[in-house]
Amino acid sequence: MSDNGKFARQLDSGLIDELRAIAGDRAIVSHPSELKVYECDGWTIEKSAPDLLVMPRTTEETSAILAALWRRNIAFVPRGAGTGLSGGALPVGAPVMICTSRMNRIVAIDLASRRVEVESGVVNLHVTNAVKDAGFFYAPDPSSQQACTIGGNIAENSGGPHTLKYGVTANHVLGVTLVLPNGQVVELGGPCEEGCGYDLVGAVVGAEGTVGIVTRATLRIMREPQAHRTMLATFADADQATRAVSAIIAAGIVPGAIEMMDRLIIRAVEDAFHVGLPADAGAVLIIELDGLASALDEHAAAVMSIARGSGASEVRLARDEAERAALWKARKRAFGAVGRLAPNYATQDGVVPRTRLPDILRVITAVGIKYGLAIGNVFHAGDGNIHPIILYDEREPAQVRAAIEAGREILTACVAMGGSLTGEHGIGVEKQGEMPLLFSPDDLIAMTELRRVFDPRERSNPNKVIPRPGACVEVSAPHRQVPI
Amino acid sequence: MTDSAEIAKQIASLIGGDRVRAPRGIETRAAAVIATPASSAEIAEIVRKCEADRIPVAAIGAARTMAEIRRTPVAIGISLERMARVVAYEPHDMTIVAQPGISVADLNAAMEQSGQRLPVDPQNPQATTAGALIAAHHAGPLRLSEGTARDLLIGIQYVGHGGRLIRSGGRVVKNVAGYDLMKLMNGSFGTLGIITEAAFKVRPIPDDYTLALASWPDVTSAFAAARAFSDAAPFAHLEVTSPQVSATLGLAPAFSLLAGFSGTRAEVDYFRATAARCAAGPVQFLDGADAMIRYCALRDFDYRTASLAAQVVVPPDELARVLGSCGAEFRAHGASGIAQIMTHDALSADTARATLLRWRERARGARGHVRVLHAEQETRAALAFFDSPNGGALELMRALKAAFDPANIFNPGCFVGGI
């Protein structure tokens, strides 16, 4: 029996009528066949559909919905576009899902102060689209930026290739409107560089939806750099490529992005999209510099020289905006390309100190061999933020188990090298079991104390992030129990 | 209430007589007794003792901020002078881990040979500890291009309630594992615990530094130029100073723009041309040692000579208008919407309160806020140093304080809303 079963009885018709009165008929989805769409996010290994989906249009509706649930002590799971990769939007003991996608208005643009106020269901890329003609951009750029929402980015503290130079979501969110799990609406931070009192915005960003629902946010936008130089460097193997990354950074150059793709990914992308990557390469780096037009050629020459000195067989400079766009398209569509290689894949997310990249890539290779799984690598090399993509077939229970085990082994190695369990995907349900590798019981208690400041009954996205020894919820992956 | 001598004796019995001393100089305004623990275990002992006996305790850094914000000295001030070491520096990973008692200047000295720095430039880096940089959220002109401790802090350890040693973040530059307790400690003014270790990401020291100086007779023109500079190129800093502050820095007594930039020869040439174009008037350029001397004077500008000084924070485009309406002297981080404003007038408690209220009204009218940085001894008791957040936010902050400091011992009574 799914854990939701025991809550389903609480969803009496009285509640559904009340929610319908608050948000309207079209805001409610209750038929099991329609709810199946929401049974997982981008972490597809585990599935569990909600009993009810509600899609509010405003802060006021969200507040009234959460208050109605709070009175009945019913837990909920917030969801943006469902592109998250750690099961953050997977219902685990939360019968009601609240989807923010209909709150999708850009509320105000203040170019003079470089602020944009948006509702949380606004798609990431739409923020940049709204200001790019004026010469501005919103810096965090996850690969899913054409679909993922600002609310989801705030929950997961999302990154992306250009966070190497510009920082992650937490560095660009200045204020939020937060609906607490009891329905109370609070304004945290605002349009200023610094808030007043404790930095609660900093605590809400990255809290993985466990402190309530963000319905609005004030974002900082940045001036678009004058120019870019985007290079593709080809290497015989991943080891050489990662050494080139360290050499570039050691030279005091801070690129906008340094991305790596290994052999498996290069071939997958080439087969799928024919973008002109060197199909026989062991690894490629996409290196992007940005800044003043008059100085970039000099920096680009330095980077190309360092790359060649590190063993690059070829370094190609994108000649125009079309070539640059093609390289980024190849990078951002890598995940889609991998989808052609196997019925399923799990995108892992770990971090090591940049200088340990060659070591962790050797571990990943060994883990792939040990479990008999193909693993590709496409990742943010400049940050030491790896993304092994583990291919498997969900129809084979043994392969699902192997994929989970392989992921766990790679993460354990990351932590042993002084790294972290996640650079940008979050803990969700996926990595709860590994949290004690990184944090002591006291650390986890302090984190729980913080969460309960916002949500004393743990009704918002329960059973995520913090593991509870000895307590497990079974989800639909074969023989997989989530250690809540 | 136990008296200071008794408290000193009890702390000495916990961690040793050589770890307790009387406050010196400005410390006398911050704390009644100074403890100098050498480890987080010793800090944990002190915290447990303080919780048991309800004795207020706080880390004091160099005591400059604490001497201002505390109405009465805290019973036990923790000086981290014995915890001032670099714990780990990895130049190739561009990360550094340090104990909180190290000064920002010493931290940077440890990285200089590798061509790296922590690019946060508080007033007087020699007297600003890494712990204070975080707890009091000090920053300087470079915040425009490099951010603040909030952006560069990648890991923290602190002693919280129960004497528990808590860790958040780590030693890698990108990390979203678990709740972000770093952001909470940042700018918490010692009210949630005692920081025992911090990890930062660091940046390369730029090739060169040039300073462009220009001035205008009115505040509006100076800020309009700052915005034009900011729109045209990524300057390292864009500081605007009022006439009296300009004069203190050796400039003509007018509204001045001090625009700093760094880079290769080609970049510097571009910045120079941009500055000349955007200033729409005469620009003086300084480089080499001349530029550095003037930059240090700007960074270290001391608002403590004023009778009342405060930090105004508003949306960037509102700053010129708000400063104009306050009519006070200022040093402003031009494109960040932050300024230190001050008056040198002789103030009574009543006039100090009225002045602060006027500044607060102006800032609040622009959706901003004001925090007092410095007041004279005679007026201090009449002033609320911290502005108040809105009701809902303050309620959460009180709940946070209660959860993280149930015995209410960490620097109580001087933060927002009396926390």
Would you say domain A227-324 falls under CATH 3.90.330.10? no
Q: Do A465 and B387 touch (CB under 8 A)?
A: no
CB neighbourhood size of A401 (10 A): 16
Between positions 71 and 100 of B, the ones with CB within 8 A of A are 90-95
Between positions 288 and 307 of B, the ones with CB within 8 A of A are none
pLDDT at A462: 96
The first and second tokens of residue A468, run together, are 């509870």
Burial B150-167 (b: 16+ CB within 10 A, else e): bbbbbbbbbbbbebbbbb
CA distance B368 to chain A (A): 7
pLDDT at A470: 59
Between positions 346 and 375 of B, the ones with CB within 8 A of A are 367-369, 371
Q: Return the sign of the alpha-carbon dihedral for residues A397, A401, A402, A403.
A: positive
Q: Do B393 and A352 touch (CB under 8 A)?
A: no
CA distance A252 to chain B (A): 5
Q: Measured between beta carbons, which residues in chain B are less than 8 angstroms from residue A435?
A: 177-178
Mean pLDDT of chain B: 96
Give me the mean pLDDT over the B282-311 stretch.
Answer: 96
A-B Cβ pairs (cutoff 8 Å, strict): 246
Q: Measured between beta carbons, which residues in chain A are less than 8 angstroms from residue B406?
A: none
Q: Measured between beta carbons, which residues in chain B are less than 8 angstroms from residue A295?
A: 263-264, 266-267, 270
Q: Do strands A96-99 and A76-79 pair parallel, antiparallel, or not at all (unpaired)?
A: parallel
A189-228 confidence digits (pLDDT tens): 999 999 999 999 999 999 999 999 999 999 999 999 999 9
Give me the mean pLDDT over the B261-277 stretch.
Answer: 94
Residue of chain B with shortest Cα separation from A455: B396
The one-letter amino acid at B409: I
Q: Do B264 and A190 touch (CB under 8 A)?
A: no
Grade residue A339 by pLDDT with cuts at 50, 70 and 90. confident
CA distance A29 to chain B (A): 32
Q: Which of B171, B184, B264 sits opposite A202 (nearest CB)?
A: B184
Lowest mean pLDDT, pick from A39-48, A421-430, B48-57, B322-331: A39-48
CA distance B147 to chain A (A): 9
pLDDT at B2: 57
Grade residue A474 by pLDDT with cuts at 50, 70 and 90. low
Burial A12-48 (b: 16+ CB within 10 A, else e): eeebeebbbebbeeebbbeeeeebeebbbbbbbbbbb
Lowest mean pLDDT, pick from A170-179, A280-289, A327-336, B12-21: A327-336
pLDDT at A478: 47
Spatial neighbors of A117 by CB under 8 A, at least 6 apart, are A106, A107, A108, A109, A110, A191, A216, A217, A218, A219
Flag whether pLDDT at B156 surpasses 60. yes
The proportion of chain A whose per-residue pLDDT surpasses 70, expressed as a percent, equals 95
Would you call B224 an interface residue with chain A, using a CB distance cutoff of 8 Å?
A: no
Mean pLDDT of chain A: 93
Q: Do B166 and A206 touch (CB under 8 A)?
A: no
- CA–CA dist A234, A316 (Å, integer): 8
The ranges assigned to domains in chain B are 4-78, 86-204, 210-299, 303-380
Query: Mutating which of B90, B176, B414 best tests the A interface, going by the most A Cβ atoms within 10 A?
Result: B176
Would you call B396 an interface residue with chain A, using a CB distance cutoff of 8 Å?
A: yes
pLDDT at A232: 96
Tokens 């079309």 map to which residue?
A322
Would you call B233 an interface residue with chain A, using a CB distance cutoff of 8 Å?
A: yes
Would you call B179 an interface residue with chain A, using a CB distance cutoff of 8 Å?
A: yes
Flag whether pLDDT at A475 surpasses 90. no
Domain A106-223 -> CATH class? alpha beta
Query: Mutating which of A193, A201, A438 best tests the B interface, going by the most B Cβ atoms within 10 A?
Result: A193
Architecture of domain B86-204: 2-Layer Sandwich (3.30)
Q: Do B160 and A418 touch (CB under 8 A)?
A: no
Q: Measured between beta carbons, which residues in chain B are less than 8 angstroms from residue A423?
A: 172, 174-176
pLDDT at A469: 66
A404-453 confidence digits (pLDDT tens): 999 999 999 999 999 999 999 999 999 999 999 999 999 999 999 999 99
Residue of chain B with shortest Cα separation from A464: B178
CATH code for the domain defined by A342-425: 3.30.70.2740
| Contact of B216 with B128, CB cutoff 8 Å | no
Q: Which CATH number fits domain B4-78: 3.40.50.1100, 3.40.50.2000, 3.30.479.30, 3.30.43.10?
A: 3.30.43.10
Which superfamily is assigned to B303-380 in CATH? Malonyl-CoA ACP transacylase, ACP-binding (3.30.70.250)
A123-172 confidence digits (pLDDT tens): 999 999 999 999 999 999 998 999 999 999 999 999 999 988 999 999 99
Q: Do A197 and B93 touch (CB under 8 A)?
A: no
Burial B275-289 (b: 16+ CB within 10 A, else e): beebbeeebebbeee
Q: Do B417 and A449 touch (CB under 8 A)?
A: no
Q: Which of B164, B175, B233 sits opposite A423 (nearest CB)?
A: B175
Flag whether pLDDT at A479 surpasses 50. no
Q: Do A426 and B317 touch (CB under 8 A)?
A: no
Flag whether pLDDT at B180 surpasses 60. yes
Q: Do A446 and B404 touch (CB under 8 A)?
A: yes
Give me the mean pLDDT over the B327-345 stretch.
Answer: 96
Give me the mean pLDDT over the B211-217 stretch.
Answer: 97
Flag whether pLDDT at A32 surpasses 50. yes
pLDDT at B280: 86
Give me the mean pLDDT over the B174-196 stretch.
Answer: 97
Q: Which of B147, B263, B269 sits opposite A171 (nearest CB)?
A: B147
Domains A106-223 and A227-324 share a fold: no
Q: Which of B164, B184, B316 sits opposite A113 (nearest CB)?
A: B316
pLDDT at A175: 98
pLDDT at A4: 42
pLDDT at A13: 83
CATH code for the domain defined by B210-299: 3.30.70.2190
The proportion of chain B whose per-residue pLDDT surpasses 70, expressed as a percent, equals 100
CA distance A300 to chain B (A): 13
DSSP state of A74: -
* Interface ipTM: 0.97
Q: Which of A292, A440, A445 sits opposite B270 (nearest CB)?
A: A292
Query: Mutating which of A194, A348, A356, A437 best tests the B interface, going by the most B Cβ atoms within 10 A?
Result: A194
| Contact of A391 with A384, CB cutoff 8 Å | no
Q: Do strands B74-78 and B57-59 pair parallel, antiparallel, or not at all (unpaired)?
A: parallel
Q: Do A193 and B175 touch (CB under 8 A)?
A: no
Flag whether pLDDT at A97 surpasses 90. yes
